[in-house]
Amino acid sequence: MPLPRAMRRLRNLVVCTLIERDLGGQADLHEVLTAISGFADFAVATLLDALHAEMCAAHGTPVGRDSGEPQQMIVLGMGKLGGYELNVSSDIDLIFVYPEDGETRLDDASQRQLSNHEFFIRLGKKLIGALSEIAEDGYVFRVDMALRPNGNSGPLAASFGMVEEYLLVQGREWERYAWVKARAMTGREQDIAALEQIFKPFVYRRYLDYGAIEAMRNMHGQIRAEVKRQEARHPGRANNVKLGRGGIREIEFLAQVFQLIRGGRDPDLRDRSTRVTLDTLADKNLLTRAEVDELQQAYVFLRNLEHRLQYLDDAQTHSIPSNPDDQLTVAKMMGYADAESLLAELDRQRAKVAAQFDAMFADKAGEQPDAQADAVAQVQAVLADPENAEAIEAHLAGLGFTDPAGAARRVLGLSQSPRLQSLPEISRARLAALVASALPIVAENDGDRNATLGRLLDFLEAIARRASYLALLTEFPQTLDRLVRMMGASDWTAKYLTRHPILLDELLDLRHLDMAPDWPAFAQEVQRRLDDAEGDTEQQMNILRDLHHAQLFRLLAQDLEGKLTVEKLADHLSALADILVDATVRAAWKTIATRHREVPRFAVIAYGKLGGKELGYASDLDVIFLYDDDDQEAPALYAKLAQRFITWMTSHTPAGILFDIDIALRPDGASGLLVSRVSAFEKYQLNSAWVWEHQALTRARFCAGDAEIGTRFEAIREAVLRQQRDPVKLREEVLAMRRRMHEAHPNRSGLFDLKHDAGGMIDIEFIVQFLVLRESARHPQLTADIGNIALLRLFGQLGLVDGALGEQVANAYRRFRRLQHQIRLQGSDRARVEAASVAEDGERVRRLWAEVFGLAED
């Protein structure tokens, strides 16, 4: 029996078996979809192999001009076939591509040479014929080639070079949607991988592409308009379950818009299956589980109904039949007693889908109340004409700006910026609309409105060339409101967002933004993302930075809302840094080709703010590196690891830097080795370290790496801190160090420096460090790394200081930290306040200082 006929008969058996199993309740939707899709793969591959052999016999083997290797045609399954979600009676969307141009290599004189291009066009025509020719046994599959480059006017088969040029130069937004589903059904693995490197950058942008929403909204509008025209011409085609309101296509669009927006940055969102993608959206909190469950239920209902419509006549139809008898037949196949019940359930399911679709794709600009829309239009008109300064000033005065003239100059300065003048018209219009929409929001917020407006305009000017960010703020107006509030609350936040505008995405889901951190889950996510990008150092470095920025921004949002104390915020920031330090050590070690073990015997020890878990938003990391490995190559390898760690942390990439690193506290300081053997570190600390190094050790802890080394470090630290010391000599050295620090930070401002002035934070820290070093031999509990506030209280409990005064100084330290934090959020590098506002706290600190250092000789 000829192969095409056998394939047609096999198709009939497969379809009849699936219909019987489906209607008999033995097969679910997944089985039906995957079975017919699997058969399509088998049919295409089997027929192609046979036809390729025939073509080679007649014309020789196609060979690449550059590689000299035999060429094979890759058949791409598109649409539902690409997603393994094919209908039982569906046609199949295909694209034919081949790697290289060239000519066929002749094996004997009877063969007629062809170019590779002609060879694969002929092969494609033969394959289409074998699949779609109708004979006495029917057909295998109808074939649609309209998705190929240049559509029906383009060549039937295209080389990789032709595909790449087309996508770069002519590829349209709707084609990105189509290529999301592209799946190679045939071809060699290396060729498939090369092809994916061509089309994936076209489909998946490296940034978050919110412009996809408008593009898909427009495409959906065109589809709906065409459906309405068809229904008007053919009333019997109404109730289209695929393209109609709330239909299958809207569910697919809901899933795929997230793929187009985020797939470039999150490989998890590149699955070709609609149902798998929906579940991923729930897992990532991009849609709620309830929303996804609704969409999944509707999808199953609509696809099952679609199949039963096609079971009637083995036709590719998606519309409810107008014939009452056929309607009843379909209803019974769906398990309903009558057509009315089926149609009622259809309406219910489609209403759920339509509601979610509208929430995502409705035109937000067109939904504004008439008065607000008019106001926005007026401001846009004013911004378009720099001669309208008086009009914009009057508008700002009406909104309540205290300096409307200054605000007007700032707004008009943006509109006349050379950067904005060069923008496409659509971007200028969108930016003007955003400014117009933002002005009343700025006016409603407390604080300095002109300052808030200036920060916002600086931000908008910085992102103006990134149409995707403008689209995000347009499509999701709630983000603009939250953005203005955050910028009004903090100048540091405004500058941080301006440097990292990708964080706008974090403003979309307030539930996610306000969620308490799950650090174990975050650590797993970091490791998984790094593992996925193993071998690509730049990508791994950007992953670390992006994850850090996102987590820090969530903490910042909660901080500005007053949901975190300074202490809790510092705990979270320190936990975040610990995770990223540990992940960086692991990833950097894997890049050392000569490494002698898979897991390094290497640890990072944290000092300073990270060591004391008092990290701030912009704190650098004070660290040292220890190792414990007898291999002869260990010193050089771990020095290389430390160097790479610092490079990974401090290098400027498109995502910025991760942390600044300070390694000055290592043994022997700048003249010392970059990494130290644990035994050498112990010897140094016990015999050679300066007192100030032991002061630093009071706030040191194991941060990341080998836990056994961490345990040894903690034992060394405790032994060093518990040494018997001469209290007089200790007092002299601590006071001398304090004088040097004070002289290094002169303050002639007339304000009180919360950190450096007498009675400030450093005095408190020196009191704590001095008492820990002096008293730990008698009170070993003082070596615990519990923080300055807890230690001050413990001193009081142990009778080392006046308990009430110790409690007051602990409270002063907390207030100083809070004030410092608030000042830093406003962008100031120096934390200085009116002396009178903290006079009582400063006096208490000075009293405790006199008490502690005055009694040191007793």
Alpha helices in 70-188 (DSSP H): 79-82, 116-132, 160-169, 173-179
Length of the chain: 858
Q: Where are the beta strands (DSSP E) in 23-81?
A: 61-64, 74-77
Fold match flag (211-362 vs 363-479): yes
| Secondary structure (3-state) at 159 | strand
**Could you give the angle at the alpha carbon of 408 between the alpha carbons of 406 and 409, nearest 5°?**
65
Write down the pLDDT at residue 98.
97
Domain boundaries, the chain: 3-203, 211-362, 363-479, 558-721, 727-854
Cα 544 to its chain centre, rounded Å, is 11
Write down the pLDDT at residue 23.
93
Write down the pLDDT at residue 235.
60
The three-state DSSP-derived secondary structure of 764-830 is HHHHHHHHHHHHCCCCHHHHCCCCHHHHHHHHHHCCCCCHHHHHHHHHHHHHHHHHHHHHHHCCCCC
Buried b (16+ CB within 10 A) or exposed e, 477-506: eebbbbbbbbbbbbbbbbebbbebbbbbbb
Q: Tell me the C-alpha distance between 720 and 714, whole Å.
A: 10
The CATH code belonging to domain 558-721 is 3.30.460.10
pTM above 0.85, yes or no: no
DSSP summary character for residue 72: -
Q: Which listed CATH number (2.60.40.420, 1.10.540.10, 3.30.450.370, 1.20.120.330) goes with 211-362?
A: 1.20.120.330
Write down the pLDDT at residue 377.
66
Please say whether the beta carbons of 167 and 195 come within 8 A.
no
* The CATH fold of domain 3-203: Beta Polymerase; domain 2 (3.30.460)
Checking DSSP bridges between strand 92-98 and strand 143-144, what pairing results, if any?
A: parallel
Q: Tell me the C-alpha distance between 645 and 667, whole Å.
A: 19
Alpha helices in 655-749 (DSSP H): 678-687, 691-697, 707-721, 727-744
Q: Tell me the C-alpha distance between 97 and 120, whole Å.
A: 8
Is 727-854 CATH 1.20.120.330?
A: yes
pLDDT digits (tens, 9 = 90+) for 236-279: 555 889 988 899 999 998 999 889 888 888 889 999 999 999 99
| Secondary structure (3-state) at 632 | coil
Which residues, listed in sequence order, are joined to residue 607 by a DSSP beta bridge?
622
Write down the pLDDT at residue 118.
96
Buried b (16+ CB within 10 A) or exposed e, 124-145: bebbbebbeeeeeeebbbebbb
The CATH code belonging to domain 363-479 is 1.20.120.1510
Element (H, E) at 154: none
Angle between helices 370-383 and 389-399 (to 10 degrees): 140
Please say whether the beta carbons of 685 and 693 come within 8 A.
yes
Question: Could you say which residues of the chain have pLDDT below 70?
Answer: 1, 207, 224, 226-227, 230-238, 363-388, 510-511, 855-858
**Number of helices and strands in the chain (H, E):** 36, 14
Write down the pLDDT at residue 829.
81
DSSP summary character for residue 70: B
Among residues 626, 622, 619, 592, the alpha carbon closest in space to that of 607 is found at 622
Write down the pLDDT at residue 383.
62
Whether the CA torsion 281, 286, 292, 296 is positive or negative: it is negative
Write down the pLDDT at residue 360.
82
